[in-house]
Amino acid sequence: MKKMISNIPNTDKKRFVIIGGGFAGFELARKLSKCPFQVVLIDKNNYHQFQPLLYQVATAGLEPSAIAFPFRKISVTRKYLHFRIAKVKKIHLDQREVETSIGFLKYDFLAISTGVTTNYYGIKGIMKHALPMKSIPDALYIRNTILKNYEKALNIEDPDLAAKYMNVIIVGGGPTGVELAGALAEMKKYILPRDYPELDFSKMQIHLLQAGESLLNGMADRSSETSLVYLKKLGVNVKLNARVTDFDGEEVWLENKEVLSTKTLIWAAGIQAGKIDGLPENIYGKGTRIIVDRMNKVMGMKDVYAIGDNSIVEGDPDYPHGHPQVAQTAIQQARTLARNMDRKVYSRPQRPFTYKNKGSMATIGRKLAVADLAFFHLKGVTAWVLWLFVHLMSILGTKNRFSVFMNWTWKYFNYDLSLRLLINHRSTPGE
Quick one: what percent of the chain has pLDDT higher than 70?
Answer: 96
Q: Residue range 304-319: average pLDDT? A: 94
CB-CB neighbours of 214 under 10 Å: 16
Confidence of residue 416 (pLDDT cuts 50, 70, 90): low
Query: Residue 159: its pLDDT value, please?
Result: 86
> CB of 253 within 8 A of CB of 244?
yes
> CB of 292 within 8 A of CB of 311?
yes
Res. 63: pLDDT tops 60: yes
Provide DSSP, 308-345.
STTEEE-S-TT-TT----SHHHHHHHHHHHHHHHHHHH
Please tell me the distance from the alpha carbon of residue 14 to that of residue 39, in angstroms, as a whole number: 9
Res. 428: pLDDT tops 60: no
> Considering only CA atoms, which of 79, 9, 85, 6 is closest in space to residue 41?
85
Res. 414: pLDDT tops 50: yes
Res. 35: pLDDT tops 70: yes
Res. 340: pLDDT tops 80: yes
pTM, to two decimals = 0.92
> CB of 166 within 8 A of CB of 346?
no
β-strand 103-106 against 97-100: which pairing, if any?
antiparallel
Query: Residue 430: its pLDDT value, please?
Result: 46
Query: Residue 425: its pLDDT value, please?
Result: 62
Please enumerate in sequence order all residues whose Cβ is within 8 A of that of 254, keeping only pairs 6 or more positions apart, or say none.
209, 239, 242, 243, 244, 245, 260
Res. 370: pLDDT tops 90: yes
All domains in the chain, ordered by first residue: 14-44+86-116+273-345 (3.50.50.60), 124-270 (3.50.50.100)
Query: Residue 419: its pLDDT value, please?
Result: 60
In tens, the pLDDT along 169-180 reads 999 999 999 999
Q: Classify 394 as helix, strand or coil.
A: helix
> CB of 358 within 8 A of CB of 328?
yes
Query: What are the backbone angles phi and psi of residue 252, rounded to the nearest 5°?
Result: -110, 125
Query: Residue 396: its pLDDT value, please?
Result: 86
Please tell me the distance from the alpha carbon of residue 78 to that of residue 100, in angstroms, as a whole number: 23
Confidence of residue 429 (pLDDT cuts 50, 70, 90): very low
Please tell me the distance from the alpha carbon of residue 402 to that of residue 183, in angstroms, as a whole number: 21
* Beta strand spans in 335-409 (E): 360-365, 368-372, 377-379
Please tell me the distance from the alpha carbon of residue 149 to that of residue 163, in angstroms, as a whole number: 10
